[in-house]
Chain A
Amino acid sequence: MRISVAKTYKLYIGGKFPRSESGRVYPVTDAKGKFLANAAHASRKDVRDAVVAARKAFPGWSGATAYNRGQVLYRVAEVLEGRRDQFIAEVSASEGLAAKKAESLVDAAIDRWVWYAGWTDKIASVLGSANPVAGPYFSFTVPEPTGVVGILAPQGSSLLGLVEVLAPVLATGSTAVVVSSAERPLPAITLSEVLATSDVPGGVANILTGRASELGPWLASHGDVNALDPTGAAPAERVELAREAANTVKRVLTVPAAEPDWTSAPDLTRLRRYLEAKTVWHPLGV
C-alpha cells in the first residue's frame, strides 16, 4: 500500500505562495469528513499584505490594453482546461458531487472564464458613450475600473461560484483580494496555481484561504479597498460589513440572501458593478 503525500497548501499573495503570517493552518475535509489537506488559515496581516499587493498591481493591470487583458484571461482558461481533471476531482470531493455533475460545473466554470475574457475589449463600447451635449464641446464617457475589490467568495460553489465573482473583476481591470470558501478551498488553491502559471501579473488576483467571518471585517474597513463583494459572508454578518464599508464609501455589491444558482446565464451586472463612469469634456473650435 502506498502512503499518499499529504499536502499543506499556502496562500497566494502578490504572485507568490507564502504561508500565513500567523503560521496557522486548518484541515480540509471532503464532504464526508475525510481529510484531504491542510490549508493556510489567513490572518488580518495576510489581508493587509494582499491589499498592498493588489494596489501595487492595479496601475499595470488597469493600464494594460483591453486586448492584452483579454489575451491574459483567455490564457487562464487554457490553463484551467489543462487542469480539468484535477478540478473535477476537487469539486467532486469538496462539494460531495458525483463526477458527472462536478464535470459539468468545471466545464461551466471554464466556459464562464472564456466569456468574461471576451468582454475586456467590448465593455467600454457597450457601456461608454459619446454625449450629445448642447454646446460646442466634445464630451464622452468611458468606464474605468473601480480599483481594489475585496471578495468573499461563495461558500458553496467552490469553483464556478469563485470564477463568477473573480473573473468580472479582473476583466474590467480591477484587482482582487479573494477569501475562498472556508470549507471547500481546494479548487481556489488550484485556481491560484493556474493564475500563477498563466500570464496574470502577480498581485492582480490574491487568494486567501480562511474564514470570511474573520477576514471580511478587515476587508470592509480597509481604506485602500474600493469595493466589496460580500457573497461569502453569512447573511447575518453582511449588515455589519456594509456599515463598515460605508466609512470609506465603498461600493458594496448587493447579493441575494442565499447563494444564487451560478449555472444560470450571466449578464453584465457584475461587470458593471466594478466600473466607474468617467466623463471627459473638451471645447470644440479651430
Chain B
Amino acid sequence: MPVFEYAPAPESRAIANLKDHYKPFVDGEFVDGSGEPLKTINPATEEVLAEVGTASKSDVDTAVKAARKAYNGAWSKMPGTERAKYLFRIARLIQERSRELAVLESLDNGKPIKESRDSDIPTAAAHFFYHAGWADKLEYAGYGANPRPLGVAGQIIPWNFPLLMLAWKIAPALATGNTVVLKPAETTPLTALVFAEICQQAELPPGVVNILPGAGDIGASIVEHAGIDKIAFTGSTEVGKAIQRQVAGTPKKLTLELGGKAANIVFEDAPLDQAIEGIVNGIFFNQGHVCCAGSRLLVQESIAEEVLEKLRYRVSTLRVGDPLDKNTDVGAINSAEQLAKIRGLVESGDAEGAQRWTSPCPVPERGFFFAPTVFANVHQSMRIAREEIFGPVLSVLTFRTPDEAVAKANNTPYGLSAGIWTEKGSRILWMANQLRAGVVWANTFNRFDPAAPFGGYQESGFGREGGRTGLEAYLSV
C-alpha cells in the first residue's frame, strides 16, 4: 500500500495577537504586578513567547480587596437576570475570539491546535453559556429557597487546560454571585490574560474577576489570605493535600480536583476498533496531560495480545510534532520539568521490569517532546501502575474476571475516572456501579460537558464541577 505523506498544514500564529508583555488584571485594569516578571515559553520550540508580569503578596491583597468591594457592591446585589447577561456576553466573546484563543493556547501550552480549536475553547465557551442560565434560576437548583453566594473565591488552576479550567472555575463562581481572584499556572498564563480583556470587553464590573499570574507562592498567598471565603484548586494531589491542611480550621470552603490513575477496562467482547480509538484518546489526548487520562489499561487476558498489537499499530500512526500543525496528534510536553518527570517514571518502569514499547514516529529535535509509549507486563506494585505519570505513557495490565477487573481498578487511592469497554449492557451497568470513580465512561472516553458533573472520589479530591451538583461548591449550603 502506498504511503501518502502529509503536507505541513500549519495554522498561522499571527492570529494569536501575541504581545511582548502581559500584565496582571486587578480591579478591572491591567496593572504592573510587583512580583518578578516571568518569561513564558513555547514548549514546542523553547523560544520565549512573552514576558508576563506576576503578582506579589501585596498584589494578592489588593486583588482580594477589589474582589470584596465588587462583591459587596455591584455583583452580589445584582439580580440574577442581569448577572446572567454578563456571562452570556463572555461566552459570546470567547466564541468570537476562539481562533485567537486556540492559537495562543497551543503556542503557550504545546497542545495540538486541533484539540485547542475543537475541544478546549468551544467547551470553555459552553461552560459560560451553561452557567449563565443558572444565574437567575438558583432557587430551583435544589439547595433551598434562597441560596447565597460565599463571597470572594480564590481559584488556582493547572497548566494542562489553561482556558478550559479557568472557565470551569469562573463560570459557576460568577453565576452564583461570587467574585474571583484566579491564579493561572506559571507556565500557561496567556489565555487567562486575554480572558481578562474579554471581561473588559463585556464591561464586567471592575473587581469581579481578578487574574494574578505567578508561581506556587502566589497560590499559597491566595489560599492563606483571610479575605477569601472559598478556595477552588485543580492540580496535583500533593499540593491539594497541602492546601487542605492549610485551610483546616478556617471558615473557608474548599473544593479540590486532584490527580488520577484511571483504569480503562477492556473486555473480550468489546468493540475492539472503537476500544483502540478510545484507549488512544484516553491516554494520548493532550499528551496525556489529563487528570482523568486512562493511564492504566486493564485488558482481559484472552485478548491482551491482540489488543497490544492493534494498539501499537494505531499508536505508531500518531503524528508527534508542531502543535500548530493541523495534522498533529500529539504536541509538546508543557515544560522541561514535566518532561523530566515523565522520563523519570518511564525509567522506573524499565528498572522494575515492565516491557516498554515506544512509537517509532519522528520526534522534533527542539522543544519538549515525548514519543507515545506503551508498557506491557505491568504489575500493580510498579510505580508506573500506581503513580500519575501525566504524560503520553500507557501501562497495560491484564485480568481474567470482571471481579478481578474491579479489584484492580479500585486498587488505588485515586478515584477520578474509569473506562469500560464491552458490548454487554448489563455488564457496563454492573461495572459502573462497582467502580469507585467520579466519572465512568462506557464505550467512550474523555467526554466532558458543562451539564455533566465532574470530580473525584477520595484522593482525587472532593466537590464537583459542572451540572446542578457543581453549583454547591459556590453556594452557602
Binding site for B on A (CB under 8 A): 126-127, 129, 131-135, 137, 139, 141, 146-147, 226, 238-239, 242-243, 245-249, 251-252, 254, 267, 269, 272, 276-283
Closest B residue to A226 by beta carbon equals B458
Residues of B within 8 A of A239 (CB): 248-249
Question: Contact partner of B245 among A243, A267, A277, CB < 8 A?
Answer: A243
Q: How far is the CA of A248 from the CA of B244 in the complex (A)?
A: 10
| Residue in B249, B440, B459 with the greatest tally of chain A CB atoms within 10 Å | B249
Assess the A133–B248 pair: CB atoms within 8 A. no
Residues of B within 8 A of A276 (CB): 438, 457
From known contacts A129-B469, A134-B449, A243-B248, infer whether A267 and B457 are also in contact, taking CB-CB under 8 Å: no
Assess the B444–A281 pair: CB atoms within 8 A. yes
Residues of B within 8 A of A141 (CB): 452-453, 467, 469
Assess the A246–B241 pair: CB atoms within 8 A. yes
Assess the A283–B467 pair: CB atoms within 8 A. no
Residues of B within 8 A of A246 (CB): 241-242, 244-245, 248
Assess the A137–B477 pair: CB atoms within 8 A. no
A266 to chain B, nearest CB (A): 13
Closest B residue to A246 by beta carbon equals B244
Residues B447-466 near A (CB distance < 8 A): 447, 449, 451-455, 457-462, 464
Assess the A281–B437 pair: CB atoms within 8 A. no
A228 to chain B, nearest CB (A): 11
Assess the B447–A135 pair: CB atoms within 8 A. yes
Assess the A281–B462 pair: CB atoms within 8 A. no
Q: Beyond the given A139-B451, A281-B439, could you list 20 further A-B residue pairs with CB under 8 A, ordered by the A residue number?
A: A129-B453, A133-B447, A133-B451, A137-B447, A141-B453, A242-B248, A242-B249, A245-B244, A246-B241, A246-B242, A249-B237, A249-B240, A269-B477, A278-B437, A278-B439, A280-B439, A281-B440, A281-B447, A282-B443, A283-B444
Q: How far is the CA of A286 from the CA of B464 in the complex (A)?
A: 32
Residues of B within 8 A of A238 (CB): 249
Q: How far is the CA of A254 from the CA of B144 in the complex (A)?
A: 18
Residues B409-441 near A (CB distance < 8 A): 413, 428, 432, 437-441
Residues of A within 8 A of B440 (CB): 278-281
Residues of A within 8 A of B428 (CB): 282
Residues of A within 8 A of B472 (CB): 272
From known contacts A277-B464, A279-B440, A281-B439, infer whether A249 and B142 are also in contact, taking CB-CB under 8 Å: no
Interface code B33-66, partner A: CB below 8 Å = 1, 0 otherwise? 0000000000000000000000000000000000
Q: How far is the CA of A147 from the CA of B458 in the complex (A)?
A: 10
Assess the B248–A278 pair: CB atoms within 8 A. no
Question: Contact partner of B459 among A126, A243, A248, CB < 8 A?
Answer: A248
Assess the B444–A249 pair: CB atoms within 8 A. no
Assess the B467–A129 pair: CB atoms within 8 A. yes
Q: How far is the CA of A208 from the CA of B241 in the complex (A)?
A: 29
A-B CB contact pairs (8 Å), 23 listed: A126-B142, A127-B469, A131-B449, A131-B453, A135-B449, A137-B447, A137-B449, A139-B451, A141-B469, A239-B248, A242-B249, A243-B249, A245-B248, A246-B245, A248-B413, A254-B253, A276-B457, A277-B453, A277-B467, A279-B439, A279-B454, A281-B452, A282-B443
Q: How far is the CA of A247 from the CA of B462 in the complex (A)?
A: 13
Closest A residue to B448 by beta carbon equals A133
B282 to chain A, nearest CB (A): 13
A70 to chain B, nearest CB (A): 19
Q: How far is the CA of A278 from the CA of B249 in the complex (A)?
A: 29
Q: How far is the CA of A239 from the CA of B252 in the complex (A)?
A: 13
Closest A residue to B256 by beta carbon equals A249
Q: Indicate whether B90 reaches chain A with its CB closer than 8 angstroms.
A: no
Q: Indicate whether B468 reaches chain A with its CB closer than 8 angstroms.
A: yes
Residues of B within 8 A of A247 (CB): 241, 245
Q: Indicate whether B232 reaches chain A with its CB closer than 8 angstroms.
A: no
From known contacts A239-B249, A243-B245, A249-B258, infer whether A280 and B442 are also in contact, taking CB-CB under 8 Å: yes
Residues of B within 8 A of A252 (CB): 248
Residues of B within 8 A of A137 (CB): 444, 447, 449
Assess the B461–A249 pair: CB atoms within 8 A. yes
Q: Indicate whether B124 reaches chain A with its CB closer than 8 angstroms.
A: no
Q: How far is the CA of A243 from the CA of B242 in the complex (A)?
A: 9
Assess the A131–B245 pair: CB atoms within 8 A. no
Residues of A within 8 A of B468 (CB): 129
From known contacts A249-B258, A283-B444, infer whether A131 and B467 are also in contact, taking CB-CB under 8 Å: yes
